Amino acid sequence: MSSAPIIRNLELLLEQGQDTAVLRFSLGSAYLKEKQWVKAIEHLQQAVICDPEYSAAWKQYGKALVENEQVAEAVAVYQKGIEVAQNKGDIQAVKEMTVFLKRLQK
């Protein structure tokens, strides 16, 4: 199923000035699902700028970078995401990003 209607609605909210980390995360995740890597990266980067403690956004941001073959950037993002998740006690996100990071460093 296409995420296009969801993306349209989320973009409309953004145009109306509702620029939040959750909105950017949702947009980035929807674009990721649609394989629109550059747009996904743009919104996920904004999500972590809006809320640097948003560990799920760091994880998705890293994934989008990997999909766009920006491996060095993804490594840096996963490292930062792991640090953020550890500080928050978000153990599951730490585990997932650690696995993703190890795969990239092989």
DSSP-H helix ranges across 1-106: 4-15, 21-33, 37-50, 55-67, 71-88, 91-104
Along the 106 residues of the chain, how does pLDDT read in single tens digits?
A: 688 899 999 999 999 999 999 999 999 999 999 999 999 999 999 999 999 999 999 999 999 999 999 999 999 999 999 999 999 999 999 999 999 999 999 8
What pLDDT does residue 36 have? 97
Range of the domain at 98: 4-104
User: The CATH number of the domain where 14 resides is what?
Assistant: 1.25.40.10
Q: Quick one: 67 exposed, middle or buried, by C-beta within 10 A (0-12, 13-18, 19+)?
A: middle
> Domains in the chain: how many in total?
1
Q: Quick one: 5 exposed, middle or buried, by C-beta within 10 A (0-12, 13-18, 19+)?
A: exposed
CA distance 81 to 87: 10
**Torsion sign, CA atoms 72, 75, 78, 84:** negative
